[in-house]
Amino acid sequence: MREKIFGHGRPRPLDREGKLRLMVMARGLRRRRLLTPKAIDVLEALLWVFHNARTGLCFPSYERIMERAGCARSTVNAALKALEACKILSWVQRILRVREEGRVRVVRTSNAYHFLEASKFEVRPGTTNQVLLLPAPVNPDSHLGRAIEALRKEVFRDSQRVSPRLA
């Protein structure tokens, strides 16, 4: 069962760079077929339309997410579950105390979505996962290998030139 929380849940502010890191990670998971294109659309809607970067609040209804992502309610539900399984986001059920005729009743209002820390996805120099990000070796005798070598030489030659403004 989902955790039920009074109030706003666990808001987590994210700046533009943090949101971009989450999107890059999600697109990488899509290439590995762990997320669908509609799951990416749902994530984009949550991050760029509904998430308040300063306060970290994000609690749209399924209907609003459906409108922005252009998909059905069942697709939104499946996308949110997939995004949670990939540890990109999670949510809590928001509840509210309502006083009626001298009695207090607890009413479920909506879900509050929160995103993982974007810094967890950073690859810092010198870490062990840096080796995994290196490109596969290219045969230097192939067309691609010769093109890469020519590009490397051109870039290196340009970096050795002195700028006319500095001369």
Q: 72 pLDDT exceeds 90?
A: yes
Q: Which of 25, 66, 29, 30 is nearest to 46 (CA)?
A: 66
Q: What is the pLDDT of residues 103-162, one digit of tens each?
A: 998 888 888 888 876 554 444 444 444 444 445 667 778 887 788 788 777 766 655 554
Residue 74 vs residues 40, 62, 124: alpha-carbon distances, Å: 15, 9, 38
Take residue 29 and report the two structure tokens written for it. 């998971």
**DSSP codes, 105-125:** EEEEEEEEEEE--GGGG---T
The separation between CA 17 and the C-alpha centre of its own chain, rounded to angstroms, equals 10
Q: Is the pTM of this model over 0.75?
A: no
pLDDT at 92: 85
The enclosing H or E element of 26 equals helix 16-31
Average pLDDT over every residue of 42-53: 94
